[in-house]
Structure 1
Amino acid sequence: MSPRKAAALRAGDRTLREHLIATAEQMISERGTAGLTVRAIARAAGVADGVLYNHFADKEELLAHAMRARVATVERALPPLPAPGEATVEANLRVYVEHGLILHNGMLPALTGLLAHPEVLARFAALSGGGENWRERLAGYLRAERDLGRLAPDARVDAATSMIVGACHEPVLSVLFQGEDLAHRVSVDAVDDLVTAVLTGIAPR
């Protein structure tokens, strides 16, 4: 092991590959991906520029892994999602909405600058390994509640899922496309209003 590599790993027992991913994740969380170069990542990691190519095919692969790590970091800080049949559907949907908003907001720095690099997003999606994501868990939760009779038997679960997912996407998209800092302004009232609209609709009763 070279002295420079040893210095980079002195603070812990993770591998150099893990160290590079963690470094890239930290940089993404602080400054986003726009203008993030191999040289900048290498310098922050305390290694020579070429070391990255010993562990990753290219910068895009490293960024995809860093984004995957960022999602895991954000998710670890979130409370567990409720199971069907627990508490009330209304209270549980609030948890799902808040979970989605926090998750998307936590990913905002990583997404900044990637609109012009779809190959990174494609590799990031492939890293999920087909596992169940937040959207699929939400849809599964709603279907289970419908089966339990806690939602109407003809409840349109897919449409309700799309409403909630779209509402969580909207603040992030506003930032990406309009440059507005809206991702930090979603109030508790907005969460309650969304849950109410999903459960009761907007037609007169």
Structure 2
Amino acid sequence: MATEPGRRRRSTPERTREHLLDSAAEVLRELGMARATTKEIARAAGYSEATLYKHFTDKSDLLLAVMRHRFPPFVEVLAELPGRVGREDVRGTLLDLVPRAVAFYRHGAPMLGSLFADPGLLARHRGGMAGHGAGPLNVNRALAAYLDDERALGRLPAGVDPGSAASLLVGACFQRGFLEAFLGHDDDFPPVELHAAELVDTLLGA
């Protein structure tokens, strides 16, 4: 049950932020993006909107934090890709990436899908993401940059096009995540590890 604003015990700024993230993740999961207002999130956390805005500049900033810290881990894996270049096995890196991407998209599809029912909300969300330098294309770009760097080191076949390979990999992960979310189960699919192996080996020409 939500606590009324102003009645929560004193907490550190770090704990307050963590609780806001927990509440935002729960509200987004239950209501979707269209109905999950900052007012509703603050109410669910037991804080005022003013407190929420002390920790997050706007709703887009809050959503980005939820995606980074309350979604299945994927964003941080992308951020680590530059450090893997020339060091870790390319196939192993991609095999690690695919299941995480599928889980991320499966988790996010239901709550983000409501954006498309409201063109105005979608436009505001798109603008908010752009203002923070974020957006779904960053996934493709990060993966393409990693593949391009590995190809330059001769660790990928010269015929592999990084941009196309990244689009195919991300697209396949998104589709499986969406379908699992839509169907409510993954019984109609091969194990995600097998899916990852088949996908990566096809892309790498193995």
TM-score when normalising by structure 1: 0.70
Q: Which has the higher helix share?
A: 2
Q: 1:53 to 1:104 in 2, by over 3 A?
A: same
Q: CA RMSD in A?
A: 3.7
- Tell me the residue number matched to 2:95: 94
Distance in structure 2 (CA, Å) of the matches to 1:134 and 1:148: 22
Distance in structure 2 (CA, Å) of the matches to 1:13 and 1:55: 11
| Residues 8 and 45 in structure 1, CA contact (< 8 A), matched pair in contact too | no
- Tell me the residue number matched to 1:156: 161
Distance in structure 1 (CA, Å) of the matches to 2:142 and 2:67: 16
Q: 1:123 to 1:15 in 2, by over 3 A?
A: farther
Distance in structure 2 (CA, Å) of the matches to 1:42 and 1:135: 33
- 1:152 counterpart SS class: coil
Query: How far 1:96 sits from its partner (Å)?
Result: 2.6
| Residues 68 and 76 in structure 2, CA contact (< 8 A), matched pair in contact too | no
Query: How far 1:141 sits from its partner (Å)?
Result: 1.2
Gap regions ≥5 residues in structure 2: none
Query: How far 1:31 sits from its partner (Å)?
Result: 4.8
The one-letter amino acid paired with 2:126 is A
Q: 1:149 to 1:123 in 2, by over 3 A?
A: same
Q: How many residues align?
A: 188
The correspondence for 2:130, drawn from 109, 112, 126, is: 126
Distance in structure 2 (CA, Å) of the matches to 1:183 and 1:32: 22
Q: 1:180 aligned to 2:183?
A: yes
| Residues 135 and 165 in structure 1, CA contact (< 8 A), matched pair in contact too | yes
Q: 1:113 aligned to 2:111?
A: no
Identity %: 26
Gap regions ≥5 residues in structure 1: none
- Tell me the residue number matched to 1:169: 174
Distance in structure 1 (CA, Å) of the matches to 2:156 and 2:16: 50
- Tell me the residue number matched to 2:28: 28
Distance in structure 1 (CA, Å) of the matches to 2:186 and 2:132: 24
Distance in structure 1 (CA, Å) of the matches to 2:11 and 2:51: 21
Which protein shows a greater Rg? 1
